[in-house]
Amino acid sequence: MRIALIDYGAGNLRSAGRALQEAGGSPVVVTDPAGLRGADAIVVPGVGAFAPAMARLAAARLVEPLRDAARSGVPLVGICLGMQLLFEDSEEGEPAPGLSLLAGRVVRLPAGVKIPHMGWNTLEVRTPDAIFDGLPEAPYVYFVHSYVVAPVDPRAVLAETVYGSRFPAVVRQGTVWGLQFHPEKSSRIGAVLLRNLLAQIAALRSPA
């Protein structure tokens, strides 16, 4: 499966690429719209701040092509900041529109907990889904973030995590997925999630 791994300067590109490869995918680093052609799936990794990330996607002329690809049904997965970019806008820094593939915005974690949230926390599954196949009860995954998503449609939330507040850890709407944690740094649990995700995507693209 050819996976367009979007390179817009995010720090976790290498490890995300390795993890996708280990999950059975063939990630190809993509820096321009031409790179999206022929992709079976798109992964937007992410470490950093919302507005600069959107600015870098815009500078690479990737914003509209990413929207078009996702809307035409190419499976798209956002990781951490990449998940947040799927939404309409963010409280973080300068106002900037996101990719707006999912309705809702990105809000800061509440005061009273240490921010950024860096560490291992458990996933609480809200909506049973094949992405969770084979996981133990309350699996631990690794987070690094200061902001969380607030989707308009609660049905988009597949799993949540509690840190300061209860927030979405896995979202899905159609063929757009978002993971707030870093599966590429979440050890075996992360590997299982990515394998399940790629299997789902493969099944979508070649219906039995």
Partner 1 sequence: MIIYPAIDLMSDSAVRLRQGDPGRRIAVGDDPVALARRWAAEGARWLHLVDLDGAMAGAPRHLDLVRRICGAVSIPVQVGGGLRTVADLRAIFEAGAARAILGTAAVAGDLLPEAIAQFGDGIAVALDARGDLVAIEGWQQTSAVPVLEAARSMAKAGVARFIYTDVSRDGMLAGPNLAGLASLIAEVPVPVILSGGIATPDDLRAAAAAGAEGAVVGRALYDGRIRLDEALRAVTGAS
Number of residues that bind partner 1 (CB under 8 A): 23
- The catalytic position among 117, 145, 160, 182 is 182
CA distance 21 to 109: 32
CA distance 79 to 182: 7
Task: Tell me which of 56, 105, 126, 185 binds partner 1, using CB under 8 A.
Answer: 185
What is the three-class DSSP state of 9? coil
Q: Is residue 166 near partner 1 by the rule CB under 8 A?
A: no
**In terms of CB distance, is 56 or 185 closer to partner 1?**
185
Biggest CA-to-CA distance, the chain:
50
Q: Is residue 22 near partner 1 by the rule CB under 8 A?
A: yes
Residue 66: how many other CB atoms lie within 10 Å: 25
Task: Tell me which of 2, 61, 108, 114 binds partner 1, using CB under 8 A.
Answer: 114
CA distance 27 to 1: 8
What is the three-class DSSP state of 5? strand
Closest CA to 151 of 133, 169, 139: 169
Window contacting partner 1 (CB under 8 A); options: 1-9, 64-72, 172-180, 187-195? 187-195
117 is an active site residue: no
160 is an active site residue: no
**In terms of CB distance, is 21 or 100 closer to partner 1?**
21
Task: Tell me which of 24, 95, 116, 136 binds partner 1, using CB under 8 A.
Answer: 116
> So which residues are the catalytic ones?
80, 182, 184
